[in-house]
Every structure is written in C-alpha cells, then in structure tokens.
Amino acid sequence: MQANWLEALVRLLDEAQRVFVFTGAGISTRSNIPDFRGPQGIYKDRSPVYFQEFVASEASRREYWAFKLEGYGAFRDAQPNAAHHALVTLEKLRKLNLLATQNVDGLHQAAGTSHERLVELHGSNRSVECLECGRQESPERCMKEFEASGEPPKCIACGGWMKPAVVMFGQGLDMGRLRKAQACSRAADLVLALGSSLVVTPASDLPLAGVQAGAKYVIINQGATPQDRLATLRIEGDVVDYLAAAVARL
C-alpha cells in the first residue's frame, strides 16, 4: 500500500461533505464472493442466461438455477469485510450521500448501511421473487427444492416461476433506483468508485454524473478502467486495504 496514495485519499475524504459511493465486485472478493468480469471472473468460462431465455425455456431455467445453486453457499456464508464496515463508518460520520452498488451479495446491508443510503442497482441474491405475483421470500426453500428435484421452483402463492431477485442479462434496471442514484451523484462533492471495472452501463455512468457536476473523483480498483483519465485520484490496489485505512484516520 503506497503511503502517498493513502494520504491523498484521507485528505479528500476529510474535506468532503457529500460522498457518492459506487461499488463493484472488487469490494467483495475478500469476503470470498467470486468476481464475474475480472481477469479470473466467472463469465470467462461460462455464458450468462438471459432473462428472455429464462422466461421462455425450461432448460434455461434449469441452467440458471443450477448456476445459482452452485454459488449459493458462498453468498449465504459470506460476511462483510473491513471495506463494507468502513462505508458504514462514513455514513455514521454523516459524509455518505448515497451508496450505489452493482453487487448482489447483500453485504453492504449486512454490514449496516441504512436502507435510505443504499441502492442495490442489480438486486440481491438474498431473496427470490415470483415473476407472476411479485411475492418475495428468502432463497432457502427454492434452493432446497431445486437441489432435491432438479426442477425450477414455483411460487407457493400463485404457482408462478420463482427467480433470484437480481437483474439478469437482458432485464432492465429499476428506473426509480437509477434516478435516485443519478440525483445523489450529481449532488455529491466527492465520488468514490470502488472495485468496479466501470464497463457495465448504465450503472457505470453513475459516477460520471457527479464528475460532470464538479465533484472530485477517486477510483480504487485492481486493473484499468475506461474512466481512469477522469479521476482526481486513481489508486491501483485492493479496496479493502486503502478504504479501511483511510476511513480509520478520519
């Protein structure tokens, strides 16, 4: 960890009053959550199931539920790490304007980030939902039923198909969540992009809204991003190490 980068990050955080935070998979890998799009990401070896395929095809529903069951243990047992807790501290210091995450692991919520300050742009693996009636429940029943039978689970209320409550490929983001995040980014005086490759739009455009409105911009990531040239401070490294150390010094 480079001391000059850390000092610069501490200074920017100390000066900021309205911080917009955008997080990606890199903040959760230390919690044993697999990366999807990084150099060793899951999608290097397998193709995602699209929402339209899930709706139309029994085989695609089985494939998607098998994929979710494969990673279920890691998501179920994962615990927030020091970076997740540092962002909770940032909220307690009344500096956090909003935390918008691409992640579906639920670790920000588990760490204690408040509902009012958190937008899960891509939903959460910590619940499943019915495509017909919208009923939500925890994943345990559906995972157990699929593991036992190999048949995609159905809603106990209406018989509709159940699906993890995440945004699949080919499925649009919730526009209410997106608009809230855009507004908070534009109102920020500091934007932090943490552990994101910043390539998945429209989510990755959110930090730019703040930058275009005049906010300072910090990117912490392992690997280059297409927004690096816009950063006030670009740190190549592990989010957990830098963020936890910087917030501890505020």
Average pLDDT over residues 52-65: 97
Q: At what angle do helices 239-248 and 82-92 cross, to 10 degrees?
A: 30
**Residues composing the chain:** 250
CA atoms lying within 13 Å on the CB side of residue 71: 17
The answer to whether residue 44 scores a pLDDT higher than 80 is: no
**Global pTM exceeds 0.85:** yes
Mean pLDDT value across the chain: 94
- Please write the tens of the pLDDT for every residue from 110-157: 999 999 999 999 999 999 999 999 999 999 999 999 999 999 999 999
Share above pLDDT 70 across residues of the chain, in percent, rounded to a whole number = 95
Q: What local confidence, expressed as pLDDT, does residue 35 receive?
A: 65
Q: What local confidence, expressed as pLDDT, does residue 2 receive?
A: 85
The answer to whether residue 42 scores a pLDDT higher than 70 is: no
The answer to whether residue 79 scores a pLDDT higher than 70 is: yes
Active site residue 122: yes
Q: What local confidence, expressed as pLDDT, does residue 3 receive?
A: 84
The answer to whether residue 212 scores a pLDDT higher than 70 is: yes
The answer to whether residue 223 scores a pLDDT higher than 70 is: yes
pLDDT band at 1; cut points 50, 70, 90:
confident
Domains and their CATH numbers in the chain: 1-33+80-121+173-250 (3.40.50.1220), 34-77+123-166 (3.30.1600.10)
Handedness of CA 213, 214, 217, 223 (dihedral sign): positive
pLDDT band at 36; cut points 50, 70, 90:
low
Q: What local confidence, expressed as pLDDT, does residue 34 receive?
A: 75
Q: Which of 84, 85, 108, 122 is catalytic?
A: 122
Contacts by 174-178, CB closer than 8 A, 24 or more apart: 174/121, 177/119, 177/120, 177/121, 178/121, 178/202, 178/203, 178/206
Q: What local confidence, expressed as pLDDT, does residue 168 receive?
A: 94
